[in-house]
Amino acid sequence: MVEIRLKRGESVDKALRRLKKKLDREGTLRDARSRRSYEKPSVRRRRKLKEPKINYYGNFSL
């Protein structure tokens, strides 16, 4: 579970932005959206093959 604590004098907008960034990095929202409906294993495999891969050096390869 993701937790964000407000820093002294920090606005709620900034804290919300930090929360969204953290959720994006962990893939929590993406995972929740993908579980909304059932996805057949064959469709899941095809989707994973299509998405770009990130190699060790941070470069994308298709």
pLDDT in tens, 3-62: 889 989 999 999 999 999 998 888 888 888 888 999 899 998 998 888 777 766 666 665
In a domain? residue 47: yes
What is the number of structural domains in the chain? 1
Q: What pLDDT shows up at residue 31?
A: 86
Q: What pLDDT shows up at residue 62?
A: 57
Q: With 0.75 as the threshold, say if the pTM is over it.
A: no
Which domain, by its residues, includes 50? 12-61
In a domain? residue 55: yes
Site of tokens 């959206």: 33
In a domain? residue 32: yes
Contacts 24+ apart (CB under 8 A), 42-48: none
In a domain? residue 40: yes
In a domain? residue 42: yes
CA-to-CA distance for 49 and 54, rounded, in angstroms? 13
